[in-house]
Amino acid sequence: MTKRFLAAAAFVLLSSTITASTTDIGATDIGATFETACPFGDCAAGISLSYLGEFVIPTGHMENGVEFGGISGLDFDTATGHYIAISDDRSERGPARFYELDVDLDASGLKGVSVVKQVTLKDKNGEPFAARTVDPESIRLGKDGIYWGSEGDGKALLAPFVRVAAPDGSFVREFKLPEGFAPTADKSTGIRDNLAFEDLAIALSGDVFVGVEAALYQDGPKSSLTSGSLSRIVRYDGATGEPKAQYAYPVSPIPQAATKADGGNDNGMSEILALDDHRLLAVERSYAQGFGNNIKIMMMDLTDATDVSAIASLSKNDQRVVPVRKSQVLDLRAIGLVPDNIEAMSLGKAKDGSDVLILGSDNNFSASQKTQFYAFKVLNRPQQ
């Protein structure tokens, strides 16, 4: 969810930014291309995208008597050619749920997004979640079901989790939460409220990556206008649900000050997407009151990054820590788009069979926001 606050941090980020190139047509015209040839100096990791347009579903749209919105995760189902999308409704407007979506997209552009069906997520007792006992934020299709994450609730001391559900939404199993992630009443360790399990990715190997939106309390402050911070990415064995490793991800400083008097701002990692077993894309989503959202797509490489799972605190640590390498792939505002609260990202297929990257926004069920989808054709992506 979008955050509205100011923060302070003291970490210097280790990042490498490659400037994207565009064609001589308008940056937001269908067919405009953006290339990052050699992120991290690694030309095998090059990525090139072509813009295919935007589609908006206004806030207030109803499906089966329940308000549609809160889209915080998205993934492609090769079996149906459709996408699954999770809502971050905390079982307040309707039961916690995910949707099956049909995305009308081909070389001529993004023409529509429609709901095929709505599925209620079930708790361990087989019943829909009670109000405010869950905060769904991410979803992926795994080898044995639908993998999804709940952010938890720091104020209510409700721990985040990753679970596997059957296609009908029923509970199958739950992943193990590593030490140090559960919220604490004194805020000495664990997740920050509304800044927890926001990100989920699955590699072809079956490994599952879960990203925390902002630094755990023990790892230091959140990002500020002058400093970034270190968030954690947990790597799981997807088959067993056991943690295998953790990595430090350097969240950038907040890129934009609030333009509203006494307004808040933030920056955090709102989604990740596996390209292979060590390269992932990440959405860094920033909000500044009076200005709006900044959305930047980063590529990260886990190669040579330190496994920090045995390090209790990244801020009180005398060991050498190598964070993941990252390089900017796309800045949506810089190419002329006006993004909303982007929290969902998926690779998929267009109707003509071409590879595409889809982004989706969480409208927070707010009349001042919208459910927004962006589509890009993938012209080139990292090679193993």
> What string of pLDDT tens digits covers the 384 residues of the chain?
443 332 223 333 333 333 444 444 556 899 999 999 999 999 999 999 999 999 999 999 999 999 999 999 999 999 999 999 999 999 999 999 999 999 999 999 999 999 999 999 999 999 999 999 999 999 999 999 999 999 999 999 999 999 999 999 999 999 999 999 999 999 999 999 999 999 999 999 999 999 999 999 999 999 999 999 999 999 999 999 999 999 999 999 999 999 999 999 999 999 999 999 999 999 999 999 999 999 999 999 999 999 999 999 999 999 999 999 999 999 999 999 999 999 999 999 999 999 999 999 999 999 999 999 999 999 999 986
pLDDT for the residue 26? 59
Determine the pLDDT at residue 83. 98
Interval 167-191: pLDDT, tens: 999 999 999 999 999 999 999 999 9
SS3 221: coil
pLDDT in tens, 53-111: 999 999 999 999 999 999 999 999 999 999 999 999 999 999 999 999 999 999 999 99
pTM exceeds cut of 0.75: yes
Residues whose CB falls within 8 Å of the CB of residue 121, separated by 6 or more in sequence, listed in order: 95, 96, 97, 98, 128, 129, 134, 136, 148, 165, 169
Are 101 and 82 in contact, with CB atoms under 8 Å apart?
yes
CA distances from 157 to 91, 118, 185, 270 (A): 18, 29, 7, 21
- How many C-alpha atoms does 330 have within 13 Å on its Cβ side? 29
First-to-last CA distance in the chain? 34
